[in-house]
Structure 1
């Protein structure tokens, strides 16, 4: 049986593409909770699959929290290395439409602990362009 954090790359890509227009244009209506949740959970779990470990906790409330990045395992209390943000900011990071340091500098992302910034090395997860080429289908 596949683990809960195992993701199908095609499903993750499809979920991200489903919210892609909203990511590019914040004036569009927010996707439904299920659609948004699938994109967030898929990309966060894909990160955990690419960067296995337990030294950094990535939180995107209310959708998901995972531990990733090799190093010392955290088991109780508040983790020493935490990255937390909202769903939109996470998806912008996961698609390469927003830079980690820019998100951190704007306050849209919090990263505490000496290892929290390490997740930037695994971004983007599903790269999107800021604009679509009209001739590309």
Structure 2
């Protein structure tokens, strides 16, 4: 599989746009809405919002550490490294909630700090991350994924909120997670289509080269992201016609989720 590249300027714009959309929505939330449960264990909406800010400030925390001597991992390793840090993330998030009761002010500070950090450091600057040493430009793509995923969590938790997804951020999240599937299940027997953003070949077997593939999976970007992150079960998505899957190798249930 050819390594996909991401335009750093577009990624920056996408991350800031998605963060801005979240901040605008959070400004409207009432105390009752902030206390609503989410689909993330025992987290309330307040804790979810604090975690969204935390995901962005991870860039600053990495920049504050000494720069690694060299890159030792690649962007596509990141989706598979997230689950190992879940306990530490939960503890850090609870601390943020206590320290930042004014979430609008907190997100405003997060946004200002992000802009300043990105202005001060080139995309080639190597960061120590939970997945290994990555360039800042690559790590920023993972922040787009985090923002898209948790914007969807926020919308699911607060009826009628409907925070919009930035198109470029949604595209980056869709593509990275589709490529991660191709890494997890290398092969060419199954084509996974997530229009309009991604098409990947995966699953071991006879490689398809021309005409209609014998095994095809197709879904929309948000459904794909929910499947890839464990928000939606494969069987439920198929039963609800959120996914179309044809062919004997089109069942991806055993390969999902990719990250959780």
Q: Name the TM-score class by shorter chain.
A: 0.7 to 0.9
User: How big is the shift at 1:15?
Assistant: 3.1
Offset of residue 28 of structure 1: 2.7
For 1:78 and 1:68, how far apart are their aligned partners in 2? 15
SS of the equivalent of 1:125 reads coil
RMSD across aligned C-alpha pairs, in angstroms?
A: 1.9
Aligned to 2:117: none
In the alignment, is residue 57 of structure 1 matched against residue 219 of structure 2? Answer: no
| Unmatched tracts of structure 1, length 5 or more | 128-137
Q: Which residue of 2 aligns with 1:17?
A: 146
Please show how residues 18-37 of structure 1 align to structure 2 within 5 Å.
18-24=147-153, 25-26=155-156, 27-37=161-171
How many Å separate the matches in 1 of 2:149 and 2:200? 23
TM-score under structure 1 length normalisation: 0.83
Give 1:40 deviation, angstroms. 0.2
Conserved in 2, the CA contact under 8 Å of 1:100 and 1:120? yes
Distance 2:179 2:4 in 1: 5
For residue 200 of structure 2, give the secondary structure of its aligned residue in structure 1. Answer: strand
Q: SS of the residue aligned with 2:196?
A: coil
Assess if the C-alpha contact under 8 Å between 1:5 and 1:49 holds in 2.
no
Is the partner of 1:52 in helix, strand or coil? coil
Pairing 1:121–2:254 present: yes
Q: How many angstroms does 1:50 deviate by?
A: 1.0
**Which structure 2 segments of 5+ residues have no match?**
6-73, 79-138
1:37-58 residue CA offsets vs partner (Å, 9 max, x unmatched): 0100000001001110001100
Task: With the length of structure 2 as denominator, give the TM-score of the two structures.
Answer: 0.45
Alpha-carbon displacement from aligned partner over 1:85-131 (angstroms, at most 9, x marks no partner): 000100000110000010000011000011100x222211121xxxx
Q: Deviations over 1:61-99 (max 9, x none)?
A: 000101100001111111010000000100000110000
Larger relative helix fraction = 2
Q: Do residues 39 (structure 1) and 39 (structure 2) align?
A: no
